[in-house]
């Protein structure tokens, strides 16, 4: 029982990050390597806001906005000048961001790790069917599921969602129809960055807030989007929950082999369905 809760909570946290990655990739054709760094910044900002206000909820509301602003600055200053060039320049830029952001975090927050406690009402463990469950993890699952539902609704049913989907498929036509694709790109990148920071806020009470936390999780996210099929939100959620469950079961059954098992899932998918579970048949990026 608790294994399921842990697996689902890791899965939904991974989904928050993978969804942003996938949206940005669909819209800009860029795999944002700095996504893990934005997640880390989100966690550190949560720590600071928590220290200043004493409220986790204020942090949860404020941090994604700050993350989105950071993303907007990154997109406008650095990515915008290189859209016309080959794709790998954009990848390389986001790679450079990792180094800059890690350094800034080191300057502002220092080297030692920080701790964020879950809010008081979610702190004390509850027991369900003779298993002890952290209510904060239940909150993460509910919150993640709500964000996932909202994302589906917005993308499928609203005007903004239609514009984003249209601009991913055929930016020229959208531009000709009188919409500013540049602003859509900035918006999507900022939104993805906000989701990453939100992931950091949600993850802060679960893991120690430290340098390098972004890189550990981003590798899992890359595995999620390779398995799910890059550009597919549906694939992201299935794959995120799959990896979350694999990790949770691995921690209880064979803690030494967790990473090995996770990578094995990736290898099996690559060998049997290289385009990913929900990917289009040909993968060119």
Partner 1 sequence: MTRLASTALGWAVLLALLVAIPNLGLGAERILLINLILVYSIFAVGFELSFGLTGLLSLGHGAMFGVGGYALALLTIRLAWPFELALLMAGLAGAVLAAVIGFFALRLTGIFFSLTTLAFAQLAYILASTKLRDITGGVDGLAGVPRPTLFGVDFYDDGNFYLYLAVLLIVMLALAGLLRASPFGQVLTGIRVNDTRVEQLGWNVRRFRHIAFAISGFYSGIAGALLGALLFYVSPQMLHWTTSGDVLIMTLVGGVGTLFGPLIGVTIFEALKDELGRLTEHWYGILGLIFVLSTIFLPHGAMGLISAVMRRAVPRS
Backbone angles phi, psi at 85, to 5 degrees: -90, 180
CA of 266: how far to CAs of 84, 111, 201, 228, 272, in Å?
A: 32, 33, 27, 10, 10
Check if the beta carbon of residue 191 is closer than 8 Å to that of residue 67. no
- Contact flag: residue 93 with partner 1 (CB under 8 A): yes
* Residue position matching structure tokens 């984003």: 164
Nearer to partner 1, 136 or 222 (CB): 222
Q: What is the DSSP string of 184-206?
A: HHHHHHHHHHHHHHHHHHHHTTT
Nearer to partner 1, 13 or 225 (CB): 225
Report in angstroms how near the CB of residue 205 gets to partner 1 at its nearest: 25
- Contact flag: residue 239 with partner 1 (CB under 8 A): no
- Contact flag: residue 265 with partner 1 (CB under 8 A): no
Residues within window 28-87 making contact with partner 1, judged by CB under 8 A = 31, 78, 81-82, 85, 87
- Separation between Cα atoms, residue 77 and residue 71, nearest integer Å: 10
- Separation between Cα atoms, residue 251 and residue 227, nearest integer Å: 21
* Residue position matching structure tokens 């994604």: 64
- Separation between Cα atoms, residue 270 and residue 277, nearest integer Å: 10
Instruction: Kindly indicate which of the ranges 47-55, 91-99, 118-126, 153-161 contains the residues binding partner 1, using the contact rule CB under 8 A.
Output: 91-99
Nearer to partner 1, 34 or 184 (CB): 34
Check if the beta carbon of residue 173 is closer than 8 Å to that of residue 162. no
Nearer to partner 1, 190 or 223 (CB): 223
- Contact flag: residue 126 with partner 1 (CB under 8 A): no
Q: Which of 15, 47, 109, 222 binds partner 1 (CB under 8 A)?
A: 222
Q: Which of 95, 113, 139, 207 binds partner 1 (CB under 8 A)?
A: 95
Report in angstroms how near the CB of residue 63 gets to partner 1 at its nearest: 22
And the tokens for 159? 């005007």
- Separation between Cα atoms, residue 83 and residue 225, nearest integer Å: 23
- Contact flag: residue 213 with partner 1 (CB under 8 A): no
- Contact flag: residue 283 with partner 1 (CB under 8 A): yes
Give the residues lining the site for partner 1 (CB under 8 A): 31, 78, 81-82, 85, 87-89, 91-93, 95-100, 102-104, 106-107, 215, 219, 222-223, 225-226, 230, 256, 259-260, 263, 266-267, 270-271, 274, 283-285
């Amino acid at each position: 029982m608790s294994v399921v809760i842990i697996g689902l909570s890791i899965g939904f946290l991974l989904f928050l990050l993978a969804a942003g990655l996938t949206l940005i990739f669909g819209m800009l054709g860029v795999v944002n390597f700095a996504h893990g760094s934005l997640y880390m910044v989100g966690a550190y900002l949560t720590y600071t806001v928590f220290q200043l206000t004493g409220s986790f909820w204020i942090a949860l509301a404020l941090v994604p906005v700050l993350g989105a602003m950071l993303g907007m600055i990154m997109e406008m200053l650095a990515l915008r000048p290189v859209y016309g060039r080959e794709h790998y320049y954009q990848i390389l830029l986001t790679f450079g961001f990792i180094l800059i952001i890690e350094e800034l975090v080191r300057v502002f927050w220092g080297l030692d790790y920080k701790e964020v406690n879950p809010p008081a009402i979610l702190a004390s463990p509850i027991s369900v069917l003779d298993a002890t469950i952290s209510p904060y993890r239940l909150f993460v699952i509910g919150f993640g599921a709500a964000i996932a539902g909202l994302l589906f609704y917005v993308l499928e049913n609203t005007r903004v969602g239609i514009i984003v989907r249209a601009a991913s498929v055929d930016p020229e036509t959208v531009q000709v129809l009188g919409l500013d694709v540049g602003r859509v790109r900035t918006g999507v990148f900022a939104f993805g960055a906000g989701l990453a920071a939100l992931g950091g806020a949600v993850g802060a009470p679960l893991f120690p807030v430290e340098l390098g936390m972004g890189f550990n999780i981003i590798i899992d996210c890359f595995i999620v989007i390779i398995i799910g099929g890059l550009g597919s939100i549906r694939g992201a959620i299935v794959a995120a929950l799959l990896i979350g469950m694999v990790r949770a079961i691995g921690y209880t059954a064979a803690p030494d082999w967790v990473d090995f098992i996770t990578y094995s899932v990736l290898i099996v998918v690559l060998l049997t369905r290289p385009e990913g579970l929900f990917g289009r048949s040909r993968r060119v990026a």
